[in-house]
Structure 1
Amino acid sequence: MHSNRIRTLYFNFLYIFIILCYTDCANGIEPFTATLAVGMGAAGYGFFKDQTYCRFYECCDERSIPGLTRSLEYNLQQHVYGQHLVNRHIVQAMSAHFNNLGKSRKPLVISFHGQPGTGKNFVAEHIAKALYTRGSESKFVHKFLGRADFPEAKLVDTYKRQINDVVRTSLSNCPRSLFIFDEVDKMPSGIFETLASLADYNAFADGTDNTKAIFIFLSNTAGVHISDHLGTLMKGGKLREETRLSDFEPLLQKAAYNIEGGLQKTSLIESHVIDHYMPFLPLEKSHVMKCLEAEFRRWNRLPDKAIMDEIIRTSIIFDPKHGIFSISGCKTLEKKVAMAIN
């Protein structure tokens, strides 16, 4: 403990010395001595920052960005209902990315698709919470909202420059940045044309590292396609839990490319920059009941089956084609439960 304190004081003194004399080195210190002092000062500054500043403030290091994929796996299993594909493949994708940062040659790029209320935002929040100590409040987590941030189609060129500037600056500050684009289906077509090159292999000629970053796109695009395809598979005798990612990815890629929105006809898809297309399956009654139970627990109340049945009966609309999928998922349940118990 005593030696550590002496070491800290030494490096602090050395750092202050370098700061004070650096501008006068050319006049008062010979080149070799100045170079040695600056090098030792830089090392001292790194140690000083790690042992002081980064203990209290967020830094681009493993303390602030621990990448707790085990925690992510547990939280998804406990709190995300009816999404066996998401729970399995999101954890695998995040683990593979974080466990191989030194070998990564491009960012991890994932596109979430599904109807409202199926958990897209919820899962994105859990990803931020697991990977960053401050969760979605981290200064290294950057969120964009389609209707709020990019409302005018005529300004698409301006938006492209804004996204380009934010991504480049953020990656320069911290290569382990997370970028979340929500409401992609509400964004103007063509908005991601600049981003396509920034999220691909060998993106930056200036040495900026993009290989450790993560890009996530959230969209309602293809929600109906997912529902129809799942219904068809289930009517053909396939259990919901037996469906695989390969059952949906080609469908999602095609729909995202052709349906109006931020991904329409984009080179993100043409250049195969997106690594995974993740389907959020429509929720059935049993899944909605689990969401209701979770809301009761959030209010520190025991689940009331009579109230839950009433909410299901009066507030949940099921799709007319298959009759088993909730159109709104778990989207409105928070307020329904709050009103029922107060």
Structure 2
Amino acid sequence: MHFSQVLFIYLYVLAISFKDVHCFVDPVSLTIGAGVGLGALTGFGFLKDQTYCRLTECCNERSVPGHIYELREMIRKRLYGQHIVKQQLISALEAHFNPQMSSRKPLVMSFHGTPGTGKNFVADMIAEALYEKGSKSRFVHKYMGRLEFSVEKNIKSYNERIYNDVVMGITDCPRSLFIFDEVDKMPAGVFESLASLVDYNSLPNKLDGSKAIFIFLSNLAGVQISDQLAKMLKNGELRENIKLSSFEQILQKASYNLDGGFKKAGLIEQHVIDHYIPFLPLEKHHVQQCISAEFLKWGRTPQKQEIENMLKEVITYDRGHGLFSTSGCKTIEKKVATEVWIKKHHNEI
């Protein structure tokens, strides 16, 4: 506990002890009051929750509620075309948060897929559901590969930074969330210090990192996911019946061999990553669902022709198969907002 927290609680307890004293305090009463205040500090957990933690974010159930049910509902209502994500992600998080589970390591997941399939969207929803302040929580640490870890000659300093950030983050709150975006834009070797940290019982100073969550986001293996899905669809399999097992080995091998932060990475060699989760490329009807959902956010139910007109603007199909949107739902939010704004001002004229 930080000194400022101890001081705050101490003063708070003293204030309560003396709140009914108006004009005269005898030495005995003063001694008893101070004794009560100091004695109460032995119950720091309860006192901290009832005082300091009511005014600021703390690593407790109030600030880190872990609302898995709310996350399930958000994903069910707001994510399209990703049945594998819905199946695997919720189960992984429920198991991780289950108090009866005795895992010795943090939960480590790697999200793979082409742009616009929902990787960042889901990572943000996880933060929103698990933390009271969502992505703005001080216990949520997000890094952008292209911005923060892109220069190969700086790998040593990157490793030092990641190591220190993780140790400090878990010291601050064992339930910390670490999100590394754009892994494919990072140089090989950037995660070597992290590999030892997230392995079993390898944090310094006897820190317990088993409650932390690490999520890696990457476009790596997006092409391989599309090829595998197209092959299965052309063989007559229903998209909704396709299982995670059809992609896991593909994702692991591609991550290890393709250029990026995972190339020849200890994280993969040491089998530290618990779940490789594919975000499947979106088809036309999935993009239609995204468009409808965005219009509904503005309180509008779009006409069929409006949707068709917007599809012509936003959707282009992959050259290899002609089945999947190359940008998914990535540009939909801004396109719909612009369309609503234009219609609104047109009606006002």
TM tier, shorter chain?
A: 0.7 to 0.9
Contact 1:307 1:340 in 2 (8 A): no
Name 2:97's counterpart in structure 1: 98
Name 1:222's counterpart in structure 2: 221
Name 2:13's counterpart in structure 1: 12
Give, in whole Å, the separation in 2 of the partners of 1:150 and 1:295: 33
| Deviation string, structure 1 residues 74-118 (Cα, Å, up to 9, x no partner) | 110000000000011100000000013761210000000000000
AA in 2 matched with 1:297:
L
Report the Cα offset of residue 37 of structure 1: 9.8
Name 1:191's counterpart in structure 2: 190
Q: Which moved more, 1:176-185 or 1:40-49?
A: 40-49
Residues 195 and 229 of structure 1, relative CA distance in 2, 3 Å threshold: same
Give, in whole Å, the separation in 2 of the partners of 1:68 and 1:47: 22
Name 2:118's counterpart in structure 1: 119
Contact 2:10 2:41 in 1 (8 A): no
Q: Secondary structure at the match of 1:196?
A: helix
Give, in whole Å, the separation in 1 of the partners of 2:312 and 2:171: 52
Q: Secondary structure at the match of 2:216?
A: strand
Report the Cα offset of residue 218 of structure 1: 0.1
Q: Secondary structure at the match of 1:206?
A: helix
Give, in whole Å, the separation in 2 of the partners of 1:58 and 1:84: 34
Name 1:312's counterpart in structure 2: 311
Give, in whole Å, the separation in 1 of the partners of 2:223 and 2:315: 17
Name 2:321's counterpart in structure 1: 322
AA in 1 matched with 2:46:
F
| Deviation string, structure 1 residues 147-185 (Cα, Å, up to 9, x no partner) | 111131111111110011100011111110000000010
| Deviation string, structure 1 residues 14-39 (Cα, Å, up to 9, x no partner) | 999xxxxxxxxxxxxxxxxxxx9999
Contact 2:13 2:37 in 1 (8 A): no
Give, in whole Å, the separation in 2 of the partners of 1:11 and 1:116: 51
| Deviation string, structure 1 residues 17-70 (Cα, Å, up to 9, x no partner) | xxxxxxxxxxxxxxxxxxx99994542433321111112211101111111111
Q: How does 1:224-303 map to 2 (within 5 A)?
A: 224-303=223-302
Please provide the CA RMSD for this pair.
2.3
Give, in whole Å, the separation in 1 of the partners of 2:157 and 2:313: 45
Contact 2:41 2:47 in 1 (8 A): no
Contact 2:14 2:37 in 1 (8 A): no
Residues 48 and 248 of structure 1, relative CA distance in 2, 3 Å threshold: same
Contact 1:11 1:45 in 2 (8 A): no
Contact 2:113 2:218 in 1 (8 A): yes
Give, in whole Å, the separation in 2 of the partners of 1:44 and 1:15: 15
AA in 2 matched with 1:240:
R
Residues 322 and 153 of structure 1, relative CA distance in 2, 3 Å threshold: same
Q: Which moved more, 1:258-267 or 1:146-155?
A: 146-155
Q: TM-score, normalised by structure 2?
A: 0.86
Q: Which moved more, 1:197-206 or 1:263-272?
A: 197-206
Report the Cα offset of residue 204 of structure 1: 2.0
* Equivalences, count: 317
Q: Which moved more, 1:260-269 or 1:330-339?
A: 330-339
Residues 165 and 235 of structure 1, relative CA distance in 2, 3 Å threshold: same
Give, in whole Å, the separation in 1 of the partners of 2:261 and 2:41: 44
Q: TM-score, normalised by structure 1?
A: 0.88
AA in 1 matched with 2:163:
N
Report the Cα offset of residue 305 of structure 1: 1.8
Report the Cα offset of residue 307 of structure 1: 1.9
Provide structure 2 residue ranges, at least 5 long, that are not aligned to the other structure. Answer: 1-8, 18-34, 343-349
Give, in whole Å, the separation in 1 of the partners of 2:124 and 2:197: 23
Report the Cα offset of residue 187 of structure 1: 0.9
AA in 1 matched with 2:203:
F
Give, in whole Å, the separation in 1 of the partners of 2:333 and 2:81: 18
Name 2:154's counterpart in structure 1: 155
Residues 183 and 309 of structure 1, relative CA distance in 2, 3 Å threshold: same
Q: Which moved more, 1:211-220 or 1:63-72?
A: 63-72
Matched, 1:143 2:139: no
Give, in whole Å, the separation in 2 of the partners of 1:10 and 1:42: 10
Contact 2:12 2:51 in 1 (8 A): no
Regions of 4+ moved over 6 Å: 8-11, 36-39
Q: How does 1:192-211 map to 2 (within 5 A)?
A: 192-211=191-210
Name 1:181's counterpart in structure 2: 180
Task: Give percent identity, aligned residues only.
Answer: 53
Residues 78 and 46 of structure 1, relative CA distance in 2, 3 Å threshold: same
Name 1:22's counterpart in structure 2: none
Q: Secondary structure at the match of 2:324?
A: coil
Residues 204 and 39 of structure 1, relative CA distance in 2, 3 Å threshold: farther
Name 1:86's counterpart in structure 2: 85
Matched, 1:129 2:116: no
Provide structure 1 residue ranges, at least 5 long, that are not aligned to the other structure. Answer: 1-7, 17-35
Contact 1:180 1:215 in 2 (8 A): yes
